[in-house]
Amino acid sequence: MILIDGKKVAAELREELKQEVSELKAKHNKAPGLTVILIGDMVPSQIYVRMKEKAANEVGLKSEVIRYPEAVEEKAVLNKIEELNKDESVSGILVQLPLPKHIDKQKVIETIAPAKDVDGFHPINVGNLSSGYESTIPCTPLGCYLLIKKFEKNLSGKNAVVVGRSNLNGKPMTQLLLKENCTVTITHSKTKDLKGECLKADIIVAAVGIPELVKGDWVKKDTIVIDVGINKTDKGIVGDVAFDEVSKVAKAITPVPGGVGPMTIACLLKNTIECFKRLNSQN
Ligand code: NAD
């Protein structure tokens, strides 16, 4: 079994991005800028935003966090996004989810200019990805994709099973695997025989949120297993895959932590740089 070391691959990617940022700064006389909007004081969101800010600074991006109290009016957030859309020093805008109940998530996402939508959640980016056009790809599936490709160059004809159909993970992951000519099965909470589907897979991407759902006897040997799950349990953070069992069978597997998580943040930086390049392509 090969352990797919997301921490190492993410560190290599961040090094490449750092180099690219320094070249872009020299060429355009300005750095790509990432602005994060954080609403309320939920601890996980605070932690994620701090990690994103630190990573952005490390590769030389200009980063800014705009904080609002939980009770902020929706209109104030939308106005700020409109302002950032027009601000030439901002290449990427990210609104940290989840949002307080009184704020309409879809309205917020749709207010972000598609060209600055570093999360790839805007319907224009979602549509472009599913049509095979250039788009910003959501950070976690992009990270999974890069890990798979690092390990296996040619995915054509492989059977891929995506467990979970969220807009954040499962659906964009499916699009990326389809683009690589995989035969993709997307499974979810109503799938009748999840074990049977997983047993046909050459590649499994699990993005469910159920600790250790995918078991050792669900996986055939030679399968690549990518575990997106981050679940807090009594024994610490575990993924959606029963690592101890599955790692005995699979050809390759990502650990949790240290697998997909570090790639998500590195891909956010990558997306910010891609947005900057597209926004400045005429200069
Ligand atoms: P979600 O709750 O939005 O979606 C979960 C999906 O799993 C749904 O489509 C549902 O149909 C499916 N599902 C539920 N029960 C199932 C079952 N018994 N069998 C098969 N499918 C089932 O979750 P999400 O936002 O996609 O996140 C999934 C996991 O990934 C969570 O643990 C989350 O914390 C983690 N996550 C990790 C990262 C990272 O960077 N590593 C990023 C985002 C999310």
Nearest CA to ligand 1 atom 18: 189
Nearest CA to ligand 1 atom 15: 189
> Looking at the domain assignment, is residue 250 inside a domain?
yes
| CB 219 near ligand 1, within 6 Å | no
> Looking at the domain assignment, is residue 88 inside a domain?
yes
Catalytic residue IDs: 52, 96, 119
* Same-domain status, 143 and 248: yes
Could you write out the three-class secondary structure of 11-36? HHHHHHHHHHHHHHHHHHCCCCEEEE
Question: Residue 45 corresponds to which tokens in the numbers above?
Answer: 């969101």
CB 159 within 8 A of CB 202: yes
Per-residue pLDDT reduced to its tens digit, 181-199: 999 999 999 999 999 999 9
pLDDT for res 20: 98
Helix axes 170-179, 123-131, angle to 10 degrees: 30
Q: Give the domain range for residue 243.
A: 139-261
> Looking at the domain assignment, is residue 100 inside a domain?
yes
> Looking at the domain assignment, is residue 275 inside a domain?
no
Pocket test for ligand 1, best of 189, 195, 214, 238 (most atoms within 8 A of CB): 189
| CB 174 near ligand 1, within 6 Å | no
CA distance 206 to 33: 32
Residue 24 backbone phi and psi in degrees, to 5: -65, -40
DSSP per position, 87-129: -TT--EEEEPSSPPTTS-HHHHHHHS-GGGBTT--SHHHHHHH
Nearest CA to ligand 1 atom 22: 189
Tell the residue number behind the tokens 């902020």, with chain if given: 72
CB 170 within 8 A of CB 138: no
> Looking at the domain assignment, is residue 224 inside a domain?
yes
166 CA distance to ligand 1 centroid (A)?
A: 7
- Judge if the upstream peptide bond of residue 44 is cis by omega within 30 degrees of 0: no
| CB 195 near ligand 1, within 6 Å | no
* Same-domain status, 152 and 256: yes
228 CA distance to ligand 1 centroid (A)?
A: 8
Tell the residue number behind the tokens 């207010």, with chain if given: 111
Q: Is 169 helix (H, G, I), strand (E, B) or coil?
A: coil
CATH assignment of the domain containing 231? 3.40.50.720
* Same-domain status, 160 and 105: no
* Same-domain status, 108 and 146: no
What is the CA 192 to chain-centroid distance, rounded?
Answer: 28
Per-residue pLDDT reduced to its tens digit, 221-247: 999 999 999 999 999 999 999 999 999
> Looking at the domain assignment, is residue 201 inside a domain?
yes
* Same-domain status, 145 and 230: yes
> Looking at the domain assignment, is residue 129 inside a domain?
no
| CB 135 near ligand 1, within 6 Å | no
| CB 144 near ligand 1, within 6 Å | no
CA distance 202 to 223: 4
CATH assignment of the domain containing 75? 3.40.50.10860
Q: How many domains in the chain?
A: 2
> Looking at the domain assignment, is residue 160 inside a domain?
yes
* Same-domain status, 105 and 154: no
| CB 164 near ligand 1, within 6 Å | yes
Instruction: Enumerate residue ranges in the chain where pLDDT < 50.
Output: none
Best CA proximity match to 78, nearest among 44, 50, 47, 37: 37
207 CA distance to ligand 1 centroid (A)?
A: 4
CB 91 within 8 A of CB 32: yes
* Same-domain status, 184 and 227: yes
Pairing of strands 183-187, 159-163: parallel
